[in-house]
Amino acid sequence: MEIEQLSTGGALRVTGTGPRAVVCVNGGQGTEVPGTWSATLEWIVRRLAPGLPRLRFGEVRYRIKSWKRLDMCIEDARAAIERLGGERTLMLGFSMGGAVSIAAAAHPSVEEVLGLGPWIPDRLDVSPLSGKRLVVIHGALDRWLPGIPGVSPSSSRRGFERALAAGADGTYTTIAGAVHGTAVRAPSGAVLPLPRARRWAELVGTELARFSG
């Protein structure tokens, strides 16, 4: 695993050396704060990468992780696609990373977006998904609560249906008993799995294995 600087000023943490790229993009918040590594994506990559040698994972650390700077987050994701240089690319987006991934799907190497509890706002242009694959996995108990980030499954379902109408294909799955994402980071820095994390890993692993060929 190595950390590389992106041309935009963001950072990229690379795991694996396979010919196909998986660009992993984090969620965000309203406050404009420096980017961090995603606990959810880190847990997924550490668990699945060893069994998927044909994939090269790149976890993106945004310059600013806020939906108020969504354009900057998209620029960071596009720079990561170019830096990884995969012959084929899958975008793996958690929460706000769903919107970032959909926008970045306009890149010609991107074949698929895999959204984990993805934020797909009604105003978001989903046309970059035309002719591509969108897979959404969402925790059935996910929701926004005061002080606790979340995305309602009904919101991502609307986005999924809009993408299908725009020419995408794919699948939508909810996980009973699951909340927003697979893991959280403890004050010590350790990544702690959330309820139903193993089920998330099973579903994501199946899709990544299909993409890996």
Q: What is the pLDDT of residues 54-77, one digit of tens each?
A: 999 999 999 999 999 999 999 999
Q: 93 pLDDT band (50/70/90 cuts)?
A: very high
Q: 147 pLDDT band (50/70/90 cuts)?
A: low
Pairwise CA distance, residues 113 & 103, whole Å: 10
Extents of the domains making up the chain? 2-212
Beta carbons within 10 angstroms of residue 1's beta carbon: 11
Task: For CA atoms 97, 102, 106, 110, give the dihedral sign.
Answer: positive
> What CATH code would you report for 2-212?
3.40.50.1820
For residue 145, pLDDT over 80 is answered with no
Long-range CB pairs of 189-197, under 8 A, 24+ apart, other chains included: 191/39, 191/42, 191/43, 191/46, 192/39, 193/43, 196/139, 197/43
Q: 125 pLDDT band (50/70/90 cuts)?
A: very high
pTM: 0.96
For residue 1, pLDDT over 90 is answered with no
In this prediction, residue 86 carries a pLDDT of 84
What number is the average pLDDT over the span 115-140? Answer: 97
